[in-house]
């Protein structure tokens, strides 16, 4: 009996030793896995290029939407931990609205061995699509990259190109107009026939205006010198409001549209944030600084090794409602409280 008890005691001691050793091994393994996971997280957040990157930003003109996007790109690079002059050099080139100059800029970029090219505006993307095939390109401030020729869909596109679409929130604008001007029947806009993005935006505005029970009247404009006369002509069309769509030409010459609106008393609305600052009653605006930040996010995926071909085009991730109460008072329009409450920014 005594021998049996001793044997059982030895068995229990052996089992206890096995349990203790197992617990030690389990703890050590868990500690090592947590350490590895933390290291991976830190590495993902502190990505640094293996060499000083040679980057380029090609802009078609000085439209406010392109300038805001440029600021977003610079901010995005800084927020990604990149130091200019140490981790990268960014060459910013502007064609000043001249297509011949734009073609020369893109030709030079093709032979300059950039690591990655940022591009703003539809004319820039259209030119790049034809000329650059082997350098990664990330676009922004483009209404419809498919119309621009960059692909057949947001997922099937030219293998070296990806980017951010900033097609305006025309559904949101049409609904806002009905809230602020419930009796409105007809609205008007200028558009630029020579800009594919302008034509696309016009079609989108027309579609959502029709859904909201509004008729859209358009007047073409081909140069900044024509904008004032075109806007005055538009105001004679018995419209209830101007709702200016997005394109490069009218964004750059919006002050002429505002002057025509103010002189005739036709209420003015816009789809670019700074247009509310310049006298529009309200703007339903894609956030173009965010569009630059979004473009950098895609660029970082490419710089870390992903191919642009497998990165789908995206829509900009943020839209803002901006209300100008001073402009509303000028046009003798009362902004409903429910609209004011949902505004992202109010200009007093």
Whether 18 maps to a domain, the answer reads: no
195 and 342 in a single domain? The answer is: yes
Considering the domain architecture, whether residues 154 and 60 belong to the same structural domain is answered as yes
C-alpha to C-alpha distance for 180 and 281, rounded to whole angstroms = 10
Give yes or no: residues 179 and 156 share one domain: no
Sign of torsion, CA 221 226 232 237?
negative
Strand, coil or helix: what is 59? strand
Residues 104 and 217 reside in one and the same domain: no
pLDDT in tens, 139-165: 999 999 999 999 999 999 999 999 999
76, 157: one domain = yes
**82-124 pLDDT, tens digit each:** 999 999 999 999 999 999 999 999 999 999 999 999 999 999 9
> Could you tell me if 175 and 205 lie in one domain?
yes
For the record, the structure tokens of 306 come out as 């992903």
Q: Is residue 36 part of a domain?
A: no
What is the predicted pLDDT for the residue at 348? 86
179, part of any domain = yes
Residues 207 and 337 in one domain: yes
Would you say residue 12 lies in a domain?
A: no
Residues 6+ apart with CB under 8 A from 198: 191, 192, 245, 246, 247, 248, 249, 250
Q: Which domain holds residue 248?
A: 170-286+319-347
Reference 130, options 158, 155, 111; nearest CA is 158
- 99 with 241, same domain: the answer is no
pLDDT at 47: 77
Going across the sheet that includes 345-347, the strands are 215-220, 186-191, 241-244, 268-270, 282-286, 319-324, 345-347
Predicted confidence at residue 46, as pLDDT, reads 59
269 bridge partner residues: 243, 282
pLDDT at 22: 54
Whether 264 and 185 share a structural domain: yes
Distance (Å) of CA 194 to CA 20, 126, 183, 198: 78, 12, 33, 8
Question: Is 116 inside any structural domain?
Answer: yes
The dihedral sign for the CA sequence 103, 290, 267, 179: positive
Tokens of 29: 């393994």
Is 193 contained in some domain? yes
Number of structural domains, the chain?
2
Residues 197 and 327 in one domain: yes
Please state the three-class secondary structure of 149-162 as a single string. CCECCCCCECCCEE
CATH number of the domain where residue 150 is located: 3.40.50.2300
Q: Say if CB 239 and CB 188 are below 8 A apart.
A: yes
- In whole angstroms, what is the distance from residue 343 CA to residue 93 CA? 35
Listed as ranges, residues in the chain with pLDDT below 50 are 1-6, 8, 19, 26-44
In-domain check, residue 19? no
Residue 90 inside a domain? The answer is yes
φ/ψ (deg, to 5) at 220: -75, 150
Same domain as 161, residue 176? no
Q: Are residues 214 and 304 in the same domain?
A: no
Residue 84's pLDDT is 94
Residues forming a β-bridge with 345: 322
């Amino acid at each position: 009996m005594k021998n049996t008890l001793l044997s059982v005691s030895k068995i229990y001691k052996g089992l206890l030793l096995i349990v203790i050793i197992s617990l030690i091994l389990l703890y050590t393994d868990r500690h090592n896995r947590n350490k590895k996971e933390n290291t991976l997280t830190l590495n993902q957040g502190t990505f640094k290029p293996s060499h000083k990157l040679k980057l380029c930003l090609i802009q078609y003109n000085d439209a406010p939407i392109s300038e805001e996007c440029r600021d977003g790109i610079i901010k995005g690079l800084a927020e990604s931990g990149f130091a200019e002059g140490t981790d990268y050099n960014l060459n910013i080139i502007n064609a000043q609205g001249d297509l011949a100059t734009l073609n020369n800029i893109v030709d030079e970029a093709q032979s300059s061995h950039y690591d990655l090219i940022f591009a703003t505006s539809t004319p820039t993307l259209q030119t790049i699509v034809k000329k650059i095939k082997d350098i990664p390109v990330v676009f922004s401030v483009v209404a419809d990259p498919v119309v621009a020729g960059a692909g057949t869909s947001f997922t099937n596109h030219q293998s070296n190109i990806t980017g951010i679409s900033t097609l305006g929130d025309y559904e949101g604008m049409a609904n806002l107009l009905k809230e602020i001007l419930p009796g409105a029947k007809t609205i008007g806009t200028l558009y630029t026939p020579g800009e594919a993005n302008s034509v696309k935006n016009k079609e989108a505005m027309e579609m959502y205006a029709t859904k909201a029970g509004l008729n859209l009247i358009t007047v073409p404009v081909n140069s900044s010198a024509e904008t004032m006369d075109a806007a005055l002509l538009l105001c004679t069309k018995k419209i209830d409001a101007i709702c200016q769509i997005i394109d490069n030409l009218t964004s750059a010459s919006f002050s002429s549209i505002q002057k025509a609106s103010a002189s005739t008393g036709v209420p003015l609305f816009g789809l670019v944030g700074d247009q509310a600052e310049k006298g529009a009653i309200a703007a339903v605006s894609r956030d173009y600084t965010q569009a630059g930040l979004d473009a950098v996010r895609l660029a970082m995926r490419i710089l870390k090794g992903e191919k642009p071909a497998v990165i789908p085009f995206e829509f900009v991730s943020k839209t803002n409602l901006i209300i100008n109460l001073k402009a509303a008072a000028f046009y003798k329009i009362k902004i409903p409280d429910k609209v004011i409450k949902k505004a992202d920014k109010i200009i007093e």
